[in-house]
Structure 1
Amino acid sequence: MSNNKIGQTEEAESQDSDLVIEKQVCFSLYSAANAIVRAYRPMLKALDLTYPQYLVMIVLWNNNGINVKALGHQLHLDSGTLTPLLKRLESKELLTRQRGSEDERVREIFLTEQGMLLKNLAETIPNQMLCKSKLPVEELLTLKESCDKMCDNLQDK
């Protein structure tokens, strides 16, 4: 058998396998997530935020005074990942970390005035991303719902 025929046979067999990159949902999600973060980068640079910092700020803009454990739960981040993010945001004077008023072991996160004002600058970002995606809102909502459902299904319970 010639090398050309062997290559064609192997290619045909590999297309029958589930182990090809084109069939991997995880790869599509990974690639889309990377593309999303790259698309956010120029907008967030203007706010001096990284994408993970932006996610923290979104939660805080809606839950000022949240404790670290609840913040981590909402963002699906452990404290080892979250603590450096919070320290960096605190050094930028966007938030303060304080001991809980009822339990000193609990750390609560509060926005500074500067952190609250940053929300006004961030208000246009979701619409800018909608425009960049070039997808109908209904399609994006369905995609979000599917991702949320998959996340729930894959959680260790």
Structure 2
Amino acid sequence: MTEAAPRLAPGEAFPEFALPDASGHPHRLTDYAGRYVVLYAYPKDDTPGCTKEACDFRDNALLKSLGAVILGVSRDDAESHGQFAEKYSLPFPLLTDSDAAFLKTVGAYGAKNMYGKVTEGVKRATFLIGPDGKLVRSWLAVKVEGHADAVVASIEADRKARGHA
């Protein structure tokens, strides 16, 4: 089993990445400098929990109004991402980390326990990255229900702390 990466602390610079979307276009954290980035790691395209999470992010009007960039990342390939995004009209990029190198770096890949069976895979996690490229907050072992609203609340609290209420 893969050992978990050390947890990133709020205020630390978030690791840079260059991951391709469904069309092969690479996305980098620096592409979104000056904006909040919601980077969420999820286990598998078109599965019940992952679909609900993606659709909750898609449908959250407050996230849109705050101008946050949403990026999903999993080990699924470009074809799978394209089909998933099209089927559910997802308006944000789904990124591929086929070897899980980046997911391991941020602690979103490793041993997980499902119904008493320990397996290795992508852990559902979300990282809120501030306009300065630093981690605002992370959620590890995300529970999908109400999660998009929790992300909105964290953005609003951070904006207030930065004096942008």
Instruction: Please confirm whether the aligned pair reaches a TM-score higher than 0.5, indicating the same fold.
Output: no
TM-score, reference length from structure 2: 0.27
Could you say which structure has the higher helix fraction?
Answer: 1
Could you say which structure has the higher strand fraction?
Answer: 2
Structure with greater Cα Rg: 1
TM-score, reference length from structure 1: 0.28
